[in-house]
Structure 1
Amino acid sequence: MVALDQKLLRDLRHLRGQVIAIALIVACGIACLVTMLSAYDSLQLSQQTYYDRYQFADVFAQLKRAPDSLIERIAELPGVQQVQTRVVVDVNLDVPSLPEPATGRLIAIPEQQTPMLNDLFIRQGQYIEPGRRDQVLVSEVFAQANHLELGDTLGAVINERWQQLRIVGIALSPEYVYEIRGVELFPDNQRFGVIWMGREALGTAFDMDGAFNDVALSLMPSANPASVIFRLDQLLKPYGGLGAYERADQISHQFINSEIESLAATAVMVPFVFLGIAAFLLNLVLARLVSTQRDQIAVLKAFGYDNLAVGWHYLKLVLVITLLGAGLGTIVGIGLGAVITENYARFYHFPVLRYRAGLQIMITAIVVSGGAAVLGTFTAVKQAVSLPPAEAMRPEPPASFRRTIIERMGMQQFIPPVGQIILRNLERRSLQASLSILGIAAAVAILVIGRYFEDATNYMIEAQFRQVQREDVTLVFNEPLSSRARYELTHLPGVMQAEPFRAVPARLRFQHQTHLSGLTGLEPQGELRRLLDQDFYPVPLPDQGVVLTTKLAEILGVTPGDPLTVEVLEGERPTRTVPVVGFVDELIGLGAYMDIHALNRLMREGPTLSGAYLTVDAHHLEQLYTQLKQTPAVASVALRERVITEFEKTIGGSFAIFTTVLVIFSSVIAFGVVYNVARIALSERDRELATLRIIGFTQGEIAVILLGEQAIVTVVAIPFGFALGFGLAALITRAYDWELFRFPLIVTPASYAFAFVIIFLVALGSGGLIRRQLNHLDLIAVLKTRE
């Protein structure tokens, strides 16, 4: 072993506490990087492989009813490669183990198994047999949630007739990787499932022999999707087309892509914070080491070691610390990545979702950590290399003396000597103190962010499911019904109040902006479904005009008073112009609302409703569920409390892991910063502190001098950390400003208190370690002169 390597090992042993602290910070950054990159890689690879192998479509459209003869004309559209037409209908289900009704989406499939768009992967069982009208395949997640097995039966209301369906297979489809109806944020797999049924059986039951109401297309690589969609809409318009859309707007694909994009962004942002702090600490440690080893550098150069050898020696110290952290971080990251990927399997359903952490990711981790370390310590290494031997043999010149701000203001008599020493050192080392404040503030900010997600979701539940949606049950009918249905609803078991609504599919247009959405007509004085502004004040529904959610208004670029063109995609498909009269703040979905009577007038129809919001006596719920299961007119039933339960379970499970990891990582940052800065201060001032001990200062007083500085730095850093955390929460709010849902900018006092307590405990622990080292300070050794 060469002499410089022996010196390197001695330096590592001497700095072992600081080495461990910095290596842990590097490990946190690399763990985040490996976790996010590997989960991103695994999810993206699974998605792309599944889409390609099972022919996920590029364009989708729903319609009222069109004859099969139209298929040939669709196939002739420029850019269309393959056409798949289907019958798709939502029906009420009676699941044996479920007291309340469930919703099943029946999708027609060929009688004989053949390759098709949105093809099926059969996990268990077999394909349906030709001519067996009762045989079905069910989605895997629905079967698991309801403990359904091959051979079990489901009751379904199919075109107003009760029918038993026998499960012969359990399957997956690329169209329902994230299985929701399209109106929820999170899946309710017990109460919504996809069921595949023979084309002949389903077509006959719903008067769709030789017809279809759903079409999917795959496109040629050179095709223009917008052009294909425009031409397809023109073809489907006479048949009640509801507006075609491309893959990017398909609900399941939207959720998966949003998750993948979030992983990619997090893989860049979070490790940057950790590695930046690690680089700062490495620079401090190395700069101090160079300062205390000036004479050793001079001797090395005098014995013939050139600048390159000396620089490489100190750079190796940095790289050893970094590689230790990178190795540990890679191991932890692989473990966390596997946990994250397993968690995704709860929501995204692939035939195979395997966790993959390739060699490329590990090489990336090493290169990123090493690069951050080299950049962070460049100035310290340059300082070691540039020291001439003659100058390096001299001791480091003492700091120049100047009066502090407190002394210039004449206030020193009000501050005890210990306090004056603390303030003097903080002012003279202002840059070091500022960087320490920044490091601790970053740790506080990460803790705030960890709790922010919980605050945001709690607020979403309160705002959306307690203030806006106040009904117990939401019913959606198969077809629009007359107003008489409202009074019939009040006679259902346990129904105390019923408020009707009218939902109309529509394309909203303002200038060159369009959005495929719909209009919802509500009772103007309704109490069960309310329109509220951001302060929870009711927004009135005027006799004329439309009220939009703020996100939809942003997409369309409208302001109050602007004329909005509404192309209705139902009935006679009228095109109307209505004024925008106001906005409401809703966190889930996009909405356009009108007075239900105004919407009926716009449609030029009598009093008509598409569904109703109900409040129900809890003692009669079971009777109500039994009757709804066999009511032909009801297409789906949604229960508000079930939605809240699923929401809390999903968010709680996901963010519990996330918050725990952030608490551990931010605690490591806080400990690493406080301990390293205090340890460096001790090594820089051991001579001064020993002198104070000899002239009469107690151990407690010199501990107050050293740790008091760290306490002031920590106290000052905490409010900065709060502000930084709030700023990061604002950035996250903008990043999660999606059409599907929006995160509110809400950080509660409890989150700030949580961050404060964690940082206080970590600072107390690191301070205890420094106090222990002060108690063992060797006065004779540190007072020996270096000249």
Structure 2
Amino acid sequence: MFSALDKKLFRDLGRMKMQAIAIGLVIAVGVVVLVMMDGLFNSLSQTKTTYYDRYRLAEVYAPAVRAPKHLLENLANVPGVDSVIGRIRGGGLVNLPQEDVPITAAIVSLPDHGAVRLNDIYLAEGKQIERGREDQILLLRSFAKAHGLQPGDRISATINGAKRKLEIAGLAQSPEFLLSMAPGDLAPDDKRYAVIWMSETSLGAAFDLKGAFSEALFSLTRDAKLPEVLDRVDQILANYGGTGAYGLEDQTSNRFLTEEIKGLATQSKILPPIFLAIAAFLLNIVISRMIQSEREQIGLLKAFGYSSMEVSAHYFKFVLAIAIGGALVGCLIGVWVGRSYADLFQQYYKFPFLVFRVDPQAFIIGILVSVFTASAGALFVLRKVFALTPAVAMRPPAPADYSRAGGFMAAVKRIFDQPTRMVLRRIARHPGRAFGAALGVGAGMGLSAASIGLMMTFTNVVDQTFDYVDRSDMTVVFAALRSTDTLNELRSLEGVTHVEPFRAVPVILRNGLHSHKGAVTGLLANPQQYRAVDKDLNPITLREDGIIIAKPLAKKLAISPGQKLFIEVQDGERPTLQMPVVGVAETLSGAPAYLEIGALNRALKQPNQISGAYLQIDEKLQAPLYEALKAMPVIAGASLKSKSREAFETLMDQSAGSMRYVMSFIAAIITFGIVYNSARIAFAERSRDLASLRVIGFTKGETAFVLLGELAIMVIMAVPIGIAFGLGLNAAIVEGFSTDLYQIPNQIQPEAFGTAGIAVLVSSVFSGWMVKRNMDGLDLVSALKTRE
């Protein structure tokens, strides 16, 4: 059977159900963030490791132009190498009737006999390539699904300048191509990048590589030293067109996934503590004031003979019921939201499997933090109440001496009417309470502003990248280096209105112990189509006497303008250049390095060479232009800026950036929770006073003004607090979301604070309406009775 105090507990929870729900939601959202972030980080990390191990993803990649197969024995003897295979990898174009421009494709060989020892594939649909069928292929599943292709369909592809009809035997997935991203693109795009697997015999004939390979793949021993392995492999392949071996960390797909996991790790360290701290602070304020409002009931219980320990246990049960209930709801919602995001990540990163798993420690931490903060707030107030005798505790607290405020109140009396004076007098007499409530509302407003600001910043990132940095309509990439004469061919095409060249050179940038594998992009000194810009989005003039690097790259290399940078070219004769850094560019994606194209060609002793071009085109002549580009064998790929923009927005919306929507929703709940609870508690504390005002002649409106006016002033006080808190929180959140691949600038968004302020105002109006509805139905006789 339940004791009398337990029955009272159930009655209290029922009587205060709306407040209990609001407090529970504040607790729940903090736990949601913790559980969700922990689960996503663990799930992606473990799935990545399992998938890589199961399908034996290579740890080192060594491209070459043409290397005889007997070199594999020499490569296998390199210290630290566990196993090595040679394969053929080349580029091509896929021509689909429904697509305007040709689609870039990577074409990879599969052994004619035996299993794939490294970089194995997962056959998702269809069947393996039949022996002797040189026209059969396996196609990347994500590309096939994006275009509605199925096993048995036939596609047209251009391989090494020759057009071929190919039959799709099956659809495959691979840990090597978790993300499909064409060279030069800013973001992955399933529609714009194909991966084709062909038999080694068929591909060797297509690229004239019979008895040779164009890429070596390695697995390493546990004690292998990666830099030494890379150096030795480069020495062996140097005479065969080797373009520089690199480790798994520089492999494109793995790099995106690794940066995603790093971003989640950073966010899991930054965001949950912020949300839990805000929830804990608000919970402490609410619980403290709630128990303070129960002062008379506590005195009555003690008068009936209940000990301080029994009363404490009763109120701790009340607090624990709300705290544990909210934390458990947060755990369940966190798992549900995390699973939803896990499914999204599985679709985005093309895992054949992904199991959402939360470390039990996250549940324990969430529940313990919720219980501890709620208990701390309750204990702080109970300690003061228990120090009183039952008779004193049953009476309202004696008013403090405010005689020294006579001058202030006299001034207030001359200016304001009586209801307004009552509001100001209560705030003046309880400044700590008013400031605490304002601080709570300000925290909720700041959280909302930071979340909304992050959403706006993501939009600005896209606009700045594709409106200020890239102003072209199309980018074409050549199959090999071409002379600048090719620009005349492009200019002569119907529909092309402007052409600007670029050259991309694979390099390793070094500054002491810091290094970065990337590329140096050669552009015109004052390009109009694709530009380097500063932090104010003003174009930067490229110079011949030095290199301009992106801000995140400067940070990674720990280098500043004026310092010398070593550039190890990974192409051609592979010279090592030394150039000063003459500027830092504000880039929002990737980590580019820029040099005037003429200076780059002279440094490489390869004058008038280009890798591709940026085009402006006439929209009315797009169709014939696309057909002409498809017929040009020199073009290895073409991408429309509009399609790249869509892919970039998808990257922002479907990867970690989508977390900003959850944060905004959670911020709204926290903001409403604190505003509503502040109004409800103020009503509970002053119900007798408000009833007295009604009895002596105040109207319902005047009585509501006395209570809600205090709420309005609290909200006004919260605005500057919310702005200051939002600015600091925005900086922390931006740091958590930025990675080496894309950077979120720490920009102040005035609209975000305006929107957050409106959200607080709406929450206040709604909360005030709910409280006023209770006030209008207040039983004056019951409220005025003395509890005995």
Distance 2:82 2:372 in 1: 48
Tell me the amino acid that sits aligned with residue 313 of structure 1. Answer: H
Alignment of structure 1 residues 613-624 onto 2, 5 Å? 613-624=614-625
Q: CA deviation at 1:765?
A: 0.5
Tell me the amino acid that sits aligned with residue 624 of structure 1. Answer: L
Q: CA deviation at 1:513?
A: 2.8
Who is 1:479 aligned against?
480
Who is 1:373 aligned against?
374
Who is 1:20 aligned against?
21
| 1:693-714 CA distance string (max 9 Å, x none) | 3344332222112111111111
Task: Indicate if the aligned counterparts of 2:566 and 2:578 stay in contact, CA closer than 8 A.
Answer: yes
Q: CA deviation at 1:585?
A: 1.4
More displaced, 511-520 or 705-714?
511-520
Secondary structure at the aligned position of 1:347 is classed as helix
Alignment of structure 1 residues 186-225 onto 2, 5 Å? 186-225=187-226
More displaced, 147-156 or 508-517?
508-517
Q: CA deviation at 1:403?
A: 4.0
Q: CA deviation at 1:109?
A: 1.6
Tell me the amino acid that sits aligned with residue 461 of structure 1. Answer: V
Secondary structure at the aligned position of 1:346 is classed as helix
More displaced, 223-232 or 525-534?
223-232
Distance 2:245 2:741 in 1: 18
Secondary structure at the aligned position of 2:138 is classed as strand
Distance 2:18 2:47 in 1: 43
Tell me the amino acid that sits aligned with residue 435 of structure 1. Answer: G
| 1:467-495 CA distance string (max 9 Å, x none) | 22122121111111122111111122312
Q: Does 1:736 align with 2:698?
A: no
Cα 1:591/1:481, change in 2 over 3 Å: same
Task: Indicate if the aligned counterparts of 2:139 and 2:172 stay in contact, CA closer than 8 A.
Answer: yes
Cα 1:767/1:395, change in 2 over 3 Å: closer
Distance 1:30 1:412 in 2: 47
Who is 1:444 aligned against?
445
Q: CA deviation at 1:636?
A: 1.3
Who is 1:309 aligned against?
310
Cα 1:740/1:261, change in 2 over 3 Å: closer
Cα 1:444/1:85, change in 2 over 3 Å: farther
Tell me the amino acid that sits aligned with residue 12 of structure 1. Answer: L
| 1:342-369 CA distance string (max 9 Å, x none) | 2223311011234456877655544443
Cα 1:441/1:210, change in 2 over 3 Å: farther
Cα 1:526/1:753, change in 2 over 3 Å: same
Task: Indicate if the aligned counterparts of 2:284 and 2:376 stay in contact, CA closer than 8 A.
Answer: no
Task: Indicate if the aligned counterparts of 2:285 and 2:437 stay in contact, CA closer than 8 A.
Answer: no
Distance 1:275 1:566 in 2: 46
Distance 1:626 1:557 in 2: 47
Who is 2:178 aligned against?
177
Distance 1:164 1:342 in 2: 35
| 1:88-119 CA distance string (max 9 Å, x none) | 21212112332321011111121135042221
| 1:22-70 CA distance string (max 9 Å, x none) | 1222232233333333333433332222122111222333333333222
Tell me the amino acid that sits aligned with residue 513 of structure 1. Answer: H
TM-score (norm 1): 0.93
Secondary structure at the aligned position of 2:347 is classed as coil
Cα 1:284/1:160, change in 2 over 3 Å: closer
Who is 1:641 aligned against?
642
Tell me the amino acid that sits aligned with residue 378 of structure 2. Answer: T
Task: Indicate if the aligned counterparts of 1:113 and 1:127 stay in contact, CA closer than 8 A.
Answer: no
Who is 2:111 aligned against?
110
Task: Indicate if the aligned counterparts of 2:267 and 2:736 stay in contact, CA closer than 8 A.
Answer: no
Q: CA deviation at 1:275?
A: 4.2
More displaced, 487-496 or 98-107?
487-496
Number of equivalences: 787
Distance 2:658 2:586 in 1: 30
Secondary structure at the aligned position of 2:78 is classed as coil
Task: Indicate if the aligned counterparts of 2:497 and 2:618 stay in contact, CA closer than 8 A.
Answer: yes
Distance 1:410 1:758 in 2: 34
Who is 2:67 aligned against?
66
Cα 1:691/1:409, change in 2 over 3 Å: closer
**Cα RMSD (Å):** 2.8
Who is 2:686 aligned against?
685
Task: Indicate if the aligned counterparts of 1:59 and 1:246 stay in contact, CA closer than 8 A.
Answer: yes
Tell me the amino acid that sits aligned with residue 47 of structure 1. Answer: K
Who is 1:559 aligned against?
560
Task: Indicate if the aligned counterparts of 2:471 and 2:528 stay in contact, CA closer than 8 A.
Answer: yes
Q: CA deviation at 1:268?
A: 5.2
Task: Indicate if the aligned counterparts of 1:565 and 1:576 stay in contact, CA closer than 8 A.
Answer: yes
Who is 2:35 aligned against?
34
Who is 1:586 aligned against?
587
Task: Indicate if the aligned counterparts of 1:453 and 1:655 stay in contact, CA closer than 8 A.
Answer: no
Secondary structure at the aligned position of 2:172 is classed as strand
More displaced, 103-112 or 153-162?
153-162
Residue ranges of structure 1 left out of the alignment (5+ in a row) = none
Tell me the amino acid that sits aligned with residue 782 of structure 2. Answer: A
Task: Indicate if the aligned counterparts of 1:506 and 1:516 stay in contact, CA closer than 8 A.
Answer: yes
Who is 2:56 aligned against?
55
Q: Does 1:95 align with 2:99?
A: no
Tell me the amino acid that sits aligned with residue 646 of structure 1. Answer: A
Task: Indicate if the aligned counterparts of 2:730 and 2:746 stay in contact, CA closer than 8 A.
Answer: yes
Distance 1:281 1:741 in 2: 34
Who is 1:745 aligned against?
746
Task: Indicate if the aligned counterparts of 2:264 and 2:656 stay in contact, CA closer than 8 A.
Answer: no
Tell me the amino acid that sits aligned with residue 670 of structure 2. Answer: I
Alignment of structure 1 residues 243-262 onto 2, 5 Å? 243-262=244-263
Who is 2:540 aligned against?
539
Tell me the amino acid that sits aligned with residue 558 of structure 1. Answer: I
Secondary structure at the aligned position of 2:492 is classed as coil
Distance 1:542 1:272 in 2: 46
Tell me the amino acid that sits aligned with residue 370 of structure 1. Answer: V
TM-score (norm 2): 0.93
Tell me the amino acid that sits aligned with residue 164 of structure 2. Answer: Q
Distance 2:658 2:489 in 1: 48
Q: Does 1:348 align with 2:353?
A: no
Distance 2:279 2:314 in 1: 19
Q: CA deviation at 1:182?
A: 5.3
Cα 1:756/1:727, change in 2 over 3 Å: same
Distance 1:413 1:513 in 2: 70
Task: Indicate if the aligned counterparts of 2:292 and 2:381 stay in contact, CA closer than 8 A.
Answer: no
Residue ranges of structure 2 left out of the alignment (5+ in a row) = none
Cα 1:374/1:42, change in 2 over 3 Å: same
Task: Indicate if the aligned counterparts of 2:260 and 2:655 stay in contact, CA closer than 8 A.
Answer: no
